[in-house]
Amino acid sequence: MQVARHVVCALSGGVDSAVAALLLRRRGYQVTGVFMKNWDSLDEHGVCTADKDCEDAYRVCKVLDIPFHQVSYVKEYWNDVFSDFLNEYEKGRTPNPDIVCNKRIKFSCFFHYAVDNLGADAVATGHYARTSLEDEEVFQQKHIKRPEGLFRNRFEVRSVVKLLQAADSFKDQTFFLSQVSQDALRRTLFPLGGLTKDFVKKIAAENRLHHVLQKKESMGICFIGKRNFENFILQYLQPRPGKFISIEDSRVLGTHKGWFLYTLGQRANIGGLHEPWFVVEKDSATGDVLVAPRTDHPALYRDLLRTNRVHWIAEEPPTALVRDKMMECHFRFRHQMALVCCVLQRGGVPGQWEDYAPGAVCLHPPEGPKQVQGGHRGLQRCS
């Protein structure tokens, strides 16, 4: 008699990961639930929300009759995610900590804990995503320690696992998984990849998981919660007062506490002005933030942008891109943003790439699962 495959499922205390664990049990796998504590401060009401989430995850395991484990990655999260978050903001860039958390914590620390400490044949999460591997193909994968350096052994023959969009295009979370390594992807199951959110809720309601079904869905950055973003950031970064300057006539429209607090394209809440103004440029030398009226102002649009080294999910750039030094693909820099068709080409600096979006034409993704090629800001190969 074949021993049941052991799958370690990350449980957040929410409905998605709970149903993911339930579906794995239904498939006949030996399932273990693990709750990760990544942040340990109190919320705006003085309550440690991680403790409540942990309790909810534990109750899920009780309902499903599976083992429960709790691990703390508070130190790793601070060093590898939050410190990076602050450093990027201080440089005037807008990082996405969820992408970094998946790369450094969930699909690195948790992945290795599940495989090395708990003896998992595979790991699973409640993300809305898919890969090109069936369950049995995942279980056949062997963990191979990767050599240090930029390139893998060119004589090593390995099939590449693809990251595919979820069936529920609105809930699709491949954007947040775009920097996960090949090794982690090839050993990961995404039970919700073929389901819609409404159906996941229906499954939870029918299987005694009401305590997670009733919870509000978490949105935004986990360590900020409902607190004021500006006030939170200024607890860690020194204020750098500056002016809001109109890009049309150089008028001073107001003042702010730090140019690094603003993202290009963001609405700037300028005291005393009722009409909306939007961030066009940020001057780190003077501290000024240049703003423009209206969302359709020409100064807010770009058809060329540059990026540094791209994380290729397949570990290496597509052959056509290497050969032709350019490739048509789709692009997004924000979750749920409509995909834009663009041309990716090699820049003048090694490892640097340029995205050119002619006319900034927005295209919706075509029907069916879409392969995600690169992970710097969600590049996808045009079909």
What amino acid positions are annotated as catalytic residues?
Answer: 101, 222
In this structure, which amino acid lies at residue 47? V
Beta bridge partners of 278: 267, 292
Q: With the CA atoms of 318, 320, 326 and 329 taken in that order, what torsion angle do they form, in degrees rounded to the nearest 10?
A: -60
CB distance 25 to 11 below 8 Å = no
Q: Where are the alpha helices (DSSP H) in the chain?
A: 15-26, 49-64, 74-77, 83-90, 97-101, 111-112, 135-139, 182-185, 197-205, 210-213, 229-233, 319-324
CB distance 239 to 257 below 8 Å = yes
CB distance 10 to 126 below 8 Å = yes
Q: How far apart are CA 262 and CA 240, in angstroms?
A: 12
Dihedral sign for Cα 25, 101, 309, 95, please.
positive
Task: Output DSSP code: residue 219.
Answer: -
Q: How far apart are CA 211 and CA 216, in angstroms?
A: 11
